Amino acid sequence: MAGALSSLAFGSVGGSAFERRAATRDPAWVKWLILGLSLSFFAIFILLPLIAVFVEALRKGWGTYITALSEPDALAAVRLTLIAAAIAVPLNLIFGVSAAWAIAKYQFRGKNALTTLIDLPFSVSPVVAGLVFVLVFGAQGWFGSWLGDHNIRIIFAVPGIVLATIFVTFPFVARELIPLMESQGREEEEAAIVLGASGLQTFWRVTLPNIKWGLLYGVILCNARAMGEFGAVSVVSGHIRGQTNTLPLHVEIVYNEYNFAAAFAVASLLALLALFTLILKTIIEVRAASQVAKA
């Protein structure tokens, strides 16, 4: 559903031009009412939870905070989270570029159906996403006995976590690139081909520079989701401390042990990642907007 984002990705923040025109200027009381309501709503529902994470994390002081982050299980969780993202993001990046090239640059039958299917993982509950991998690779699943015979563990092990992560982050890059590449059309690529460029040369020299911001945008969102996914990973993980726990799962375990300060300390790490993601995203939006404005 990040597809909804794509249309916005390259729009700039609106100005107050509307306030200067008589016909679009709202009466002052309306303006303050709407601003008051929407910003209070924003403060309570978005800002407050964000602040709560950091305040709760530091409630017992920096010592506890540092300890919570440096205990071996937490570090193992960091490592696993990084591994899962490091596999899932590049795979989905390659897929996204490939899908966007096929869908945006050519006409073929079934294109709409394909585009819809790519969106599917967004609307599937993460829990269901995890479940289907259990059905395929779990002990009772399709390949369960074969995998068991060969001593390969996928479910309740790292491969399952990686698979679930790939599934839930599947559409991010594709959904950013498809509308972007569609809007850019085929002319520049055709021009390159007429001038004698090969397919790869055309992609590297013409297409890629044009989509780099959209690509980066998709990668960042994909990465944030990959590192933060909880439901799907939870189903396939098995929750073995220090082995099959990602950061979000580690948060849950520590939290359920009533070690709230430690749970929030780890959570604050993820919240920082989220903030970092939002900052990068904003920078990219500004860059992309200025690129569009120049063109």
**1 to 40, contacts with another protein by CB under 8 A?**
1-5, 7-8, 11, 13-19, 21-24, 26-27, 30-31, 34-35, 37-39
Based on the number of CB atoms within 10 Å of its own CB, is 145 exposed (0-12), middle (13-18) or buried (19 or more)?
Answer: exposed
Rounded Cα–Cα distance for residues 178 and 115 (Å)? 9
Per-residue binding string, another protein, 48-87, x by CB under 8 A, is: xxx-xx--x-------------------------------
Q: Is 120 helix (H, G, I), strand (E, B) or coil?
A: helix
Burial class of residue 107 (count of CB atoms within 10 Å of its CB; 0-12, 13-18, 19+): exposed
Q: Which of 68, 85, 180, 206 binds another protein (CB under 8 A)?
A: 206
Closest CA to 284 of 195, 162, 180: 180
With H, G, I as helix, E, B as strand and everything else as coil, classify residue 231. Answer: helix
Q: Which string of x and - marks every residue 221-260 that binds another protein (by CB under 8 A)?
A: x--xx-xxxxx--xx-----------xxx-xx--x----x
Query: Rounded to 5 degrees, what are φ and ψ at 222?
Result: -60, -45
Residues 122-181 that bind another protein (CB under 8 A): 122-128, 131-136, 138, 140-142, 163, 166-167, 170
Distance CA 93, CA 173 (A): 6
Name the token pair of 3.
Answer: 């597809």
By the rule CB under 8 A, 95 interacts with another protein? yes
Regarding 199 and contact with another protein (CB under 8 A), the answer is: yes
Question: Closest approach of Cβ 65 to another protein, in Å?
Answer: 15
Using only the alpha carbons of the chain, give its radius of gyration.
Answer: 23
CB of 247 to another protein, least distance (A): 8
CA–CA gap between residue 95 and residue 101 (Å, rounded): 10
Closest distance to another protein from the beta carbon of 56 (Å): 5
Number of chain positions touching another protein (CB under 8 A): 131
265 lines the binding site for another protein (CB under 8 A)? no
Token representation of residue 63: 């010592």
Q: How near is the Cβ of 243 to another protein at its closest, in Å?
A: 18
Under a CB-based contact definition with an 8 Å cutoff, are residues 220 and 50 in contact?
no
* Rounded Cα gap, residues 218 and 3, in angstroms: 10
Least gap, CB of 47 to another protein (angstroms): 7
> Please, what is the minimum distance in Å from the beta carbon of residue 66 to another protein?
19
Closer Cβ to another protein, 153 or 203, answer by number: 203
Q: Which stretch binds another protein (CB under 8 A): 67-75, 146-154, 267-275?
A: 267-275
- The residue type found at 274 is A
Work out how close the CB of 161 gets to another protein at its nearest, in angstroms, rounded to a whole number.
14
Residue among 149 and 187 whose Cβ is closer to another protein: 187
